[in-house]
Chains A and B, each alone.
Chain A
């Protein structure tokens, strides 16, 4: 199960992701983040309510980040819980993604 809500705040389009980013929901996550990248020039993916992520979910974030890069869209991942952040760190995502502890706005 995964859910998304969007909100524009302080010049950012905040995509709040709630639930689990696994092999079943990764396509939905990628679609939601890509759609945001198409709408705005600054995207904050708020993962505070993301309970779980696997490599399939990471790939979805990576693909959205690539789409953002190719369109010169700023893309930041924010508010990860400790276990989700551990998965990002083990995958070296901190080298290629902008990661904030809190929302930038």
Chain B
């Protein structure tokens, strides 16, 4: 099929951070720098920056280590009360909303070493939705600026 270039979009009216990361943990530095730049540009606050960085790292590391993904992509968009995050990869189907909850009260010797990252993501974010669409994992969630914390 002949490639038809898309019409040039009008300037972005939404305040977003869109990023495609290679499936390589060295990309964490870029993830962190871009998240910081976005949050500071729009004065979203240190707590939101920390949580967003945390969630993105956990999702990204999960995609690379467990999903074997060669790339992931995400978009953070400002909303009147905070941000929404849409994250996507083409790894094996993985629904974070159904992931087993690790026992965070187990004694030291019985502590599971896996599953903690997704647990943290579920703690700091709200309204997590998962869809499997055409071979893509698509995860959507939001983080209000005034988070009551946990």
Contacts and interface: CB of A to CB of B under 8 A. Distances in A.
A97 B50 CA distance: 23
B53 interface: yes
Contacts, number: 72
B107 A96 contact: yes
B contact face: mostly helix, strand, loop, or mixed: helix
A89 interface: yes
A69 B150 CA distance: 29
Contact of A52 (B50, B106, B107, B113): B50
A40 interface: no
A23 B53 contact: no
B120 A23 contact: no
A23 B150 contact: no
Nearest to A70: B109
B54 interface: yes
B16 interface: no
A23 B61 contact: yes
Interface in A48-105: 52, 54-56, 58-59, 62-63, 65-66, 69, 83, 86-87, 89-92, 95-97
B58 A83 contact: no
Contacts of B109: 66, 69
